[in-house]
Structure 1
Amino acid sequence: MFEVTIEQTFAAGHALRNYRGKCENVHGHNYRCQVTMAGDQLDPAGLLVDFVELKKAVQSVINRMDHQWLNDFPPFDSLNPSAENMAKYIYDEVLKTIPQAPGVRLESVRLWETDTSYATYRPSVA
Structure 2
Amino acid sequence: MNIDGYETYSTYKLTSYINASHAVRWEGGMGKEHMHTWAVICEIHVNNNQMVPFNQIENELKEVSSRVSGKFLNEVPPFDHVNPTLENLTTYFFQVITELLRRNNAVLTRLEIGESPTRFYCITLK
TM over 0.5, shorter chain: yes
Percent identity of the aligned residues?
21
Which residue does the alignment assign to 2:4? none
DSSP 3-state at the match of 1:33 = strand
Cα gap change, 1:6/1:19 in structure 2, threshold over 3 Å: closer, same or farther? Answer: farther
Out of 71, 74, 77, the residue aligned to residue 74 of structure 2 is 71
1:33 maps to 40
- Contact 1:84 1:121 survives alignment (8 Å): no
The number of equivalent residue pairs is 116
Letter of the 2:24 counterpart: L
Q: Which runs of 5+ in 1 are unaligned?
A: none
Q: Measure how far apart 1:120 and its partner are.
A: 1.0
Q: Hey, what does 1:9 align to over in structure 2? A: 17
Taking the aligned partners of 1:73 and 1:97, their CA distance within structure 2 comes to 20
In structure 2, the residue corresponding to 1:57 is in which secondary structure? helix
Do structure 1's residue 107 and structure 2's residue 109 form an aligned pair?
yes
The one-letter code matched in structure 2 to 1:16 is V
**Structure 2 match to 1:91:** 94
Deviation of 1:57 (Å): 2.2
After the TM superposition, which segments of 4 or more aligned residues of structure 1 sit over 3 Å from their partners?
A: none
Q: CA RMSD in A?
A: 2.0
Whether the 8 Å contact between 1:6 and 1:54 is mirrored in structure 2 is: no
Q: Which residue of 1 aligns with 2:122?
A: 120
CA distance in 2, matches of 1:19, 1:67: 27
Q: Which AA in structure 2 matches 1:37?
A: I
After superposition, the C-alpha distances for 1:67-86 in whole angstroms (9 at most, x for unaligned) are: 11100111111111111111
What is the one-letter code of the residue matched to 2:35? G
Distance 1:39 1:96, change over 3 A: closer
Give the Cα separation in 2 of the matches to 1:122 and 1:42. Answer: 20
Q: Distance in 1 between matches of 2:60 and 2:110?
A: 14
- Structure 2 CA distance for partners of 1:72 and 1:31, relative to 1, 3 Å: same
